[in-house]
């Protein structure tokens, strides 16, 4: 068979398997469709809502106020300079990731009429859902930059690098999770409940509403394993890097903040997470491609 | 001439899981009941289409025609055997699947065009022609949810028949729309055929099959019971040619 395929040089192209998938590359080949799907998603989400896109400012703002008021002011385990910025820097990462997780997981099933009827690269759906989540991240960056300028932000090169690395971590891991979970969700609808649980877990296992030093003081010396386990979460590293980018340059003694509130070798850990994230995307894509051939009949 | 579609020893079956929940799964496993039932939709189908061939797929409901079409379009993959196609595939299958009720007619033309594989420039070029075909200018900027089902189909059809392709698949769709529109669709299909496109046509109407296709294939509960000329296929399936599909 392969000889027949290879020897073919017909103007309409070679004979090929119509269901053959080019995976993520196909998605980028059909950027225009991707753009329209993202635009559709955004249009539909706020359809018939009076406030429209402003909801994407209101929701994080309320969440932020609650964290700040309850944890920061009332329970306040430890005083922390510019606590609001510290919470918000973490929230950007957590909000994006949980968003990517829930929207991404549902993305294929939600588009079941297309999946069942039309042959197009199905990776399109998780990728489009990630792009919608990225779009919703923009207002949060606007807000934090505004907050940074108010508190007197002096970013250095490390801050810039940390911000980019944090973004790279959540983008790669978010895409990987969206690909993997959206495919699994076709076969096991339990996924949607599982991710609710995962969301709760990841919100509390990152140094967002509490400072990192609480974890470090308690576990660094006594139980190394717990400490390393805590730091093995890509989202945790992303939150710490984002703290480095936005919160550290805003405090009076940045150097002290780095030693007290960030783990050692943060940048190396970040780089490792990006590499692992790329590997994860590759694996997730392979699983997706494997399961995809049965999407049409299962979804 | 080269082959456009090769279907080789294709089989497709669907697994129907007997368990919907983990509990059922465990119970079924414990009772040693089968965990899933299998339903054979297609068995040992083989045929080849040269470029420019047109074939009518006929058979009763549930005989596997649509499944075969889905295998050719690539939406599903066969369990056994293989399907090979050459060039771009489009057609009148599930028209309007990509339409979203909350978007306007114009937005839907672009979205659906892109879903069917057109580029932005292609849609721009064909936009007037699509609009012309659908006769929906007046409602172009209102949301598709306000369209009647007939209007919806017209727009969906208009986009679908404007997709550039080498292989054109048609699935029992000519039964929708009013008569003038049906005539128009038939005319367009014959135009595409005259341009040398390969056609695979699923229909219950012998008259339409004879009009469009030279070849015919008859399926009976997933098995190929006849493959030959369209005239003989119609005889084989023994449909009466009535006047009701007079277009």
Of B2, B75, B98, the CB nearest to A296: B75
Joined tokens for residue B226: 């006849």
What's chain B's average pLDDT? 86
Confidence band of A16 (pLDDT split at 50, 70, 90): confident
> Could you tell me the strand order of the sheet in which B198-202 lies?
A15-16, B80-86, B3-17, B36-50, B223-229, B215-220, B54-59, B198-202, B167-171, B89-92
Rounded to the nearest angstrom, the minimum Cα separation between B175 and chain A is 19
* Residue A13 located in a structural domain: no
* Residue A6 located in a structural domain: no
Contact B86 A15 (CB under 8 A): yes
| B111/A contact by beta carbon, under 8 A | yes
Residue of A nearest to B113 (CA): A33
pLDDT of residue A2: 42
pLDDT of residue B116: 87
* CA distance readout (Å), A278 to A241, B20, B117: 18, 34, 29
What's chain A's average pLDDT? 88
pLDDT of residue B149: 82
Determine the number of helices (DSSP H) and then strands (DSSP E) in chain B. 8, 9
* Residue A260 located in a structural domain: yes
Q: Percentage of chain A with pLDDT > 70?
A: 95
Confidence band of A184 (pLDDT split at 50, 70, 90): very high
ipTM reported for the complex, 2 dp: 0.83
| B89/A contact by beta carbon, under 8 A | yes
Size of interface A-B (CB pairs under 8 A): 96
Count up the domains in chain A and report the number.
Answer: 1
Rounded to the nearest angstrom, the minimum Cα separation between B244 and chain A is 29
Of B77, B111, B117, the CB nearest to A19: B77
pLDDT of residue A8: 56
Rounded to the nearest angstrom, the minimum Cα separation between B182 and chain A is 23
State how beta strands B198-202 and B167-171 pair. Answer: parallel
Rounded to the nearest angstrom, the minimum Cα separation between B119 and chain A is 7
Mean pLDDT of A136-150: 89
pLDDT of residue A3: 42
* Residue A287 located in a structural domain: yes
Q: Percentage of chain A with pLDDT > 90?
A: 53
Of B51, B77, B166, the CB nearest to A293: B77
Mean pLDDT of A208-225: 89
Structural domain span for residue A70: 21-46+53-298
* Residue A4 located in a structural domain: no
Q: Which residues of B touch A36 (CB under 8 A)?
A: 110-111, 114
> Lowest-confidence range among A65-74, A123-132, B85-94?
A65-74
pLDDT of residue B176: 65
Of A32, A43, A118, the CB nearest to B103: A43
pLDDT of residue A293: 85
Q: Which residues of A touch B97 (CB under 8 A)?
A: 113-114, 116-118
DSSP string, A138-166: HHHHHHHHHHHHHH-----HHHHHHHHHH
- Residue tagged 């430890």 (tokens): A78
Residue of A nearest to B120 (CA): A32
Rounded to the nearest angstrom, the minimum Cα separation between A101 and chain B is 23
* Residue A293 located in a structural domain: yes
Q: Which residues of A touch B66 (CB under 8 A)?
A: none
pLDDT of residue B1: 67
In this predicted model, what pLDDT tens digit does every residue of A93-119 receive, in sequence order?
999 999 999 999 999 999 988 898 888
In this predicted model, what pLDDT tens digit does every residue of B176-233 receive, in sequence order?
667 888 888 888 889 989 998 999 999 888 888 898 999 999 999 999 999 999 989 8
* Residue A12 located in a structural domain: no
Of A30, A293, A297, the CB nearest to B14: A297
pLDDT of residue A183: 95
In this predicted model, what pLDDT tens digit does every residue of A31-79 receive, in sequence order?
999 999 999 988 887 776 777 777 777 877 888 888 888 877 777 656 7
Confidence band of A257 (pLDDT split at 50, 70, 90): very high
* Residue A5 located in a structural domain: no
Query: Quick one: DSSP state of residue B138?
Result: G
8 Å CB contact between B210 and B231: yes
| B131/A contact by beta carbon, under 8 A | no
pLDDT of residue B173: 66
Domains and CATH numbers, chain B: 51-237 (3.40.50.300)
Q: Does the pLDDT value for residue B241 go beyond 80?
A: no
pLDDT of residue A248: 95
Q: Does the pLDDT value for residue B121 go beyond 50?
A: yes
> Lowest-confidence range among A15-19, A84-88, A181-185, B86-90?
A15-19
Using DSSP, state whether B41 is helix, strand or coil.
Answer: strand
- In chain A, the N- to C-terminal Cα span, in Å, equals 32
Q: Percentage of chain B with pLDDT > 90?
A: 39
């Amino acid at each position: 068979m392969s000889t027949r395929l290879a020897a073919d040089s017909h103007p309409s192209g070679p004979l090929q398997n119509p269901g053959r998938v080019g995976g993520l590359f196909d998605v980028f080949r059909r950027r225009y469709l991707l753009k329209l799907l993202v635009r559709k998603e955004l249009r539909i989400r706020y359809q018939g809502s009076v406030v429209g896109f402003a909801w994407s400012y209101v929701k994080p703002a309320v969440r932020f106020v609650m964290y700040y008021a309850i944890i920061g002011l009332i329970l306040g385990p430890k005083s922390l300079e510019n606590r609001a910025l510290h919470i918000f820097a973490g929230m950007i990462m957590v909000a994006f990731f949980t968003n990517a997780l829930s929207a991404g997981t549902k993305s294929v099933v939600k588009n079941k009429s297309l999946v069942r009827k039309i042959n197009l690269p199905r990776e399109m759906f998780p990728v489009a859902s990630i792009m919608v989540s990225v779009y919703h991240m923009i207002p949060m960056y606007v807000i934090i930059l505004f907050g940074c300028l108010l508190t007197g932000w002096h970013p250095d090169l490390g801050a810039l690098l940390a911000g980019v690395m944090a973004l790279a971590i959540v983008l790669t891991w978010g895409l990987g999770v969206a690909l993997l979970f959206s495919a699994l969700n076709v076969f096991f609808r339990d996924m949607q409940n599982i991710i609710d649980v995962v969301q709760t877990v990841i919100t509390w296992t990152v140094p967002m509403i509490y400072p990192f030093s609480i974890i470090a003081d308690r576990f660094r010396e006594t139980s190394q394993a717990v400490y390393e386990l805590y730091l093995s979460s890509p989202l945790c590293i992303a939150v710490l890097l984002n703290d480095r980018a936005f919160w550290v340059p805003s405090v009076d003694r940045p150097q002290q903040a780095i030693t007290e509130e960030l783990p050692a070798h943060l940048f190396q850990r970040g780089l490792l997470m990006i590499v692992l994230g790329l590997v994860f995307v590759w694996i997730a894509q392979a699983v997706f491609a494997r399961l995809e051939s049965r999407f049409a009949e299962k979804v | 001439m080269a082959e456009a579609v090769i279907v080789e020893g294709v089989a497709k079956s669907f697994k129907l899981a007997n368990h919907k929940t983990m509990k059922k799964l465990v119970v079924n496993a414990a009772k040693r009941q089968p965990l899933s039932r299998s339903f054979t939709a297609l068995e040992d189908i083989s045929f080849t289409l040269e470029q420019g061939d047109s074939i009518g797929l006929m058979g009763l409901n549930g005989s596997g025609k649509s499944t075969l079409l889905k295998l050719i379009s690539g939406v599903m993959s066969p369990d056994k055997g293989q399907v090979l196609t050459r060039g771009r595939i489009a057609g009148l299958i599930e028209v309007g699947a990509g339409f979203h009720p909350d978007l306007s007619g114009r937005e839907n033309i672009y979205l659906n065009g892109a879903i069917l594989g057109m580029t932005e420039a292609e849609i721009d070029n064909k936009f007037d022609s699509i609009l012309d075909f659908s006769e929906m200018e007046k409602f172009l900027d209102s949301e598709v949810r306000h369209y009647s089902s007939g209007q919806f189909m017209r727009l969906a059809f208009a986009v679908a028949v404007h997709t550039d392709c080498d292989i054109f698949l048609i699935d029992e769709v000519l039964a929708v729309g009013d008569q003038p529109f049906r005539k128009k669709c038939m005319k367009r299909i014959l135009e595409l055929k005259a341009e040398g496109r390969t056609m695979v046509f699923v229909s219950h109407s012998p008259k339409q099959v004879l009009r469009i296709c030279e070849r015919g294939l008859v399926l009976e509960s997933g098995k190929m019971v006849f493959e030959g000329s369209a005239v003989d296929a119609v005889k084989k399936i023994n449909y009466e040619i009535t006047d009701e599909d007079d277009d």
